[in-house]
Amino acid sequence: MELKRIMKLTSYVLPFAAALLLSACGGEPDYSPKPRGFFRIYYPKKDYIAYEQGCPFTFQYPKYGQIEPNKAKDAKPCWQNIQFKDFNATLHLSYEPIKSKQEFNELVEDAHKLSFKHTVKATSIDEARIAYPDRKVYGIYYTIDGNAASSAQFFLTDSTKHYLRGALYFNSEPRLDSIQPVLTFLKKDVDVMIRSFKWK
C-alpha cells in the first residue's frame, strides 16, 4: 500500500520537476556586464645600483631596471634607455655635451617644447626646479598629468659643459586610471636617480 502511494506521488513530481528544469534552461540569458578589471601588479623591492659606464655622469637606478643603449638611427653616444620590462615602461636618457651658450639655450628650449607638446592630452603640466649646487646639478622636472604619452620629463645640466634629458614613457595606450599606481612607483625611482646624479 505504501509503495503504491510513493509511486503515485512520483508520477506527479517527476513531470513537474522536468518541466521546471526545462523552463529554467530556455529563454534569453540574463547577462549583465562586469566592470573592467586590471591585472594584479607585483612591485619588487626598492634596491639601487650605480650606473658607472663610460659616460660623464653617474646615478643610482633600481635593480629591476635594465640599461640598454638607444638603438635609434640618430642616437648619439651616452643615449641610454632604462627598460622597466615588468611595467612595460622606458626611461629615455639623452646626453649632449654643451659647446656654446647658444646651444645650451636651444637644448633648454627643446626640453620645454618636448614636454609641452603633450598639452593636447594633459590636464596639467607642472614645472619644478632642480638644484644641487654642491654637485653643479641643475634642471627642471616636468610633471605631466592626464592621459599623455609621457608623464614625467626632466633635464639636468651644469650650465657649462653637460646636459642630460630624461623622459618616462609607457609602451601602451596611456590611461592614467590604470597606470597611476605604476607611475607613482616609478616616479620614486626617477627621484632617486635625480637626487643621486653626479657629473664626472
| Residue 184 Rama label (left phi>0; alpha psi -120 to 50; beta) | alpha
Q: pLDDT of 62-96, one tens digit each?
A: 999 999 999 988 999 999 999 999 999 999 999 99
What mean pLDDT value characterizes the chain?
83
Taking only the tens place, the pLDDT of each residue in 98-142 is 999 999 999 999 998 888 775 556 677 889 999 999 999 999 999
**Neighbour-count burial of 128, counting CB atoms closer than 10 A to its CB (0-12 exposed, 13-18 middle, 19+ buried):** exposed
Task: Report the predicted TM-score, pTM, of the whole model to 2 decimal places.
Answer: 0.76
Predicted local distance difference test score (pLDDT) of residue 160? 95
> Can you tell me whether residue 155 is helix, strand or coil?
strand
Domains of the chain, each with CATH number or no CATH: 48-199 (3.40.1000)
35-46 pLDDT, tens digit per residue, is 554 556 789 999
Length of the chain in terms of residues written? 200
Instruction: Report the C-alpha gap between 87 and 152 in whole angstroms.
Output: 15
Q: Residue 3 pLDDT > 70, yes or no? A: no
Contacts (Cβ under 8 Å, ≥6 apart) of 167: 91, 92, 114, 150, 152, 153
Position 12 confidence tier, pLDDT thresholds 50, 70, 90:
low
In the numeric block, the cell 619644478 is attached to 128
Q: 126: which 3 cell numbers?
A: 607642472
Neighbouring C-alpha atoms within 13 Å toward the C-beta of 18: 6
Q: Which residues pair with 84 in a beta bridge?
A: 89
